[in-house]
Structure 1
Amino acid sequence: MTRTLYLFCAAAPPVFDVARVVEDAQARGWDVCLGLTPTAALWLEPNTDGLAALTGHPVRHTYERPGEPDPWPAPDVVLFAPATFNAVNQWALGLTGTFVVSVAAEALGWGVPLVAAPCVNAAHVRHPQYDRSVETLRSAGVHVLHGADTAFPWEAALDAAEEAWRPAAAP
């Protein structure tokens, strides 16, 4: 059975690990579609052709043109990692100015499991909107990871995506 993971990345330093993360997800049996914020796409621009070859899908940061078919299969899980302060707040507020935030917002209505792993500095975490945004996403069913680890929790994020995908046990 093929399972499709939409891996959405914003521009934070952990995005530079994305090739390894894609390989880890594929080793877990995921078909990975990689979406980037515009700044993350700029940061990874020298590697996007290689990332597309690795995933077998175009790396996207914009929508397809009207009339063009969607180049990605439907997702089974959406994992937004790293999700920056900006991305978390835009997603929670429904401000869909970028492809990945817009698709993540739509996914709330699709009933697809959603996981977010923020990468936010301590000053941004203290901003009053951040807690409200995290609570909004959680109340909408998004599993938001937080931790005190110094390293970005890629493995925990993939574990959470795996757990979110598992169907509920039958009664």
Structure 2
Amino acid sequence: MSDSPKRPFLYVVVCAAGVAPDVGTLISAAQDLGWGVGVVATPLGLGFIDQEAVEGQTGYPIRSAWRKPGDVRPLPPADAIAVAPATYNTINKWAAGISDTLALGILCEAYGMGIPTAVLPYVNSAMAAHPAYGESLARLRTMGVLVSDYEPHPPKSGGGADRFRWEEALELLAPRLAVGG
């Protein structure tokens, strides 16, 4: 039996957004701090990332669908969760308690399990102007979710990728955790 401490495990929930292909930046930053990392992608988010590269980097399969009863759990339990990038759709569904994908199910359940969770929204300013978006972010904050202060990018620009700070998820989580803090 090993006397070494258990390595903390981070779930990175990836949504379908233009910056998603760069998720390896967050994975590397977390691994550099001693985290094990597993990726959970929304069904559409799966198409935005290089599945083979991400699985090679983490050493775990990407999860995007529910397991069948009796299937082995492919990821260790999460000690923390980073939702990056988080889309308008995922933020609003999560805040409303909708659990129609594995990613949303994990996020909804994390609240009840007390798992520290950080979210890095990636939305355009037209979508962010909708009242539901602000209300959803406010609800997530009241649930204890750590929300980035990322400024929405202009619509139809594909912009903001240069301002998307993947490491901010770890910075937000650090005060709640012993690793990286």
Q: Quick check: TM above 0.5?
A: yes
Please name the residue that 1:159 is paired with. 171
Structure 1 CA distance, aligned partners of 2:58 and 2:17? 21
1:17 and 2:32 aligned: no
Post-superposition Cα deviations, 1:68-96, rounded to whole Å, max 9, x if no partner, equal: 12111111101111110000001000111
Post-superposition Cα deviations, 1:104-159, rounded to whole Å, max 9, x if no partner, equal: 11000111111111111101111010111111111111011123384112121221
4+ runs of 1 displaced by more than 2 Å?
147-150, 161-164
Contact 2:17/2:45 (CA < 8 Å) preserved in 1?
yes
Structure 2 CA distance, aligned partners of 1:5 and 1:68? 21
Structure 2 CA distance, aligned partners of 1:43 and 1:81? 12
Which structure: greater helix fraction? 1
Structure 2 CA distance, aligned partners of 1:7 and 1:161? 12
Contact 2:18/2:48 (CA < 8 Å) preserved in 1?
no
Contact 2:141/2:147 (CA < 8 Å) preserved in 1?
yes
Structure 2 CA distance, aligned partners of 1:26 and 1:91? 27
Percent identity between the two aligned chains:
33
Aligned pair count reads 165
Please name the residue that 1:34 is paired with. 39
TM-score under structure 1 normalisation? 0.91
Can you give the 5+ residue segments of structure 1 that lack an aligned partner in the other structure? none
Structure 1 CA distance, aligned partners of 2:42 and 2:95? 16
Structure 1 CA distance, aligned partners of 2:51 and 2:150? 29
Q: 1:127 aligns with which of 127, 130, 144?
A: 130
Post-superposition Cα deviations, 1:50-75, rounded to whole Å, max 9, x if no partner, equal: 21121111111111111112111111
Can you give the 5+ residue segments of structure 2 that lack an aligned partner in the other structure? 153-159
Q: Secondary structure at the match of 2:19?
A: helix
Aligned partner of 1:87: which letter?
T
Structure 2 CA distance, aligned partners of 1:43 and 1:125? 22
